[in-house]
Amino acid sequence: MVDLPAPMQAHMLQNMRGHLVVVDRLLQLLGAGELDEASDLAESELGMSSLDKHGASHIAPYYPEGMRQAGTELHHAASRFSRTAQEGDVPSAYRALQDITASCVACHAGYRVR
Ligand code: HEC
């Protein structure tokens, strides 16, 4: 159980709901063979380029170390997905997408905020 100040918690959960929207959209794009769009979306919304957008530097100090690492793993997995999708092989892109969802699952298995 991680005790976050209420506004941080609300912000984090809002980010989380946004993450799920992105994963859903990535599945849709892969199914449609639109790998370039998937690559761009993953990098800008979940990848290493998204940290500022999510206020990561403000929230991360409140996270226990393991949770911070799990968050970093998500952003790395998303940037790896972005590069893989760019290469244009659909099965590889699906495998790389599963690395993203595995990082969601890993953090959820270890941490709660309420
Ligand atoms: C660094 C840890 C971490 C990562 C990585 C992570 N989550 Fe979460 N997520 C949480 C925590 C903690 C909660 C709150 C769970 C609770 O206390 O009920 C949460 C809650 C959620 C919720 C519920 C939001 C709400 O309003 O109740 C959704 C949806 C969600 N996460 C989606 C995702 C998706 C999709 C991913 C991967 C793309 C992801 N999360 C990655 C930690 C993480």
Over residues 15-72, the pLDDT tens digits come to 999 999 999 999 999 999 999 999 999 999 999 999 998 888 899 899 999 999 999 9
Q: Give 40's contacts (C-beta < 8 A, 6+ positions apart).
A: 82
The CA 13 to ligand 1 mean position distance, Å, reads 7
CB 97 within 8 A of CB 30: yes
**Which pair of tokens denotes residue 78?**
């998303």
Our answer on whether the CB atom of 111 is closer than 6 Å to any ligand 1 atom is yes
109 pLDDT higher than 90: yes
**CB hemisphere CA count around 49 (13 angstroms):** 11
Our answer on whether the CB atom of 69 is closer than 6 Å to any ligand 1 atom is no
Nearest to 36 by CA among 76, 75, 91, 93: 93
**CB hemisphere CA count around 88 (13 angstroms):** 0
Q: Which whole number is the average pLDDT over 74-97?
A: 98
114/92 Cα distance (integer angstroms): 36
CB 81 within 8 A of CB 93: yes
CB 75 within 8 A of CB 50: yes
Would you place residue 1 in the very low, low, confident or very high pLDDT band (cuts 50, 70, 90)?
very high
Our answer on whether the CB atom of 105 is closer than 6 Å to any ligand 1 atom is no
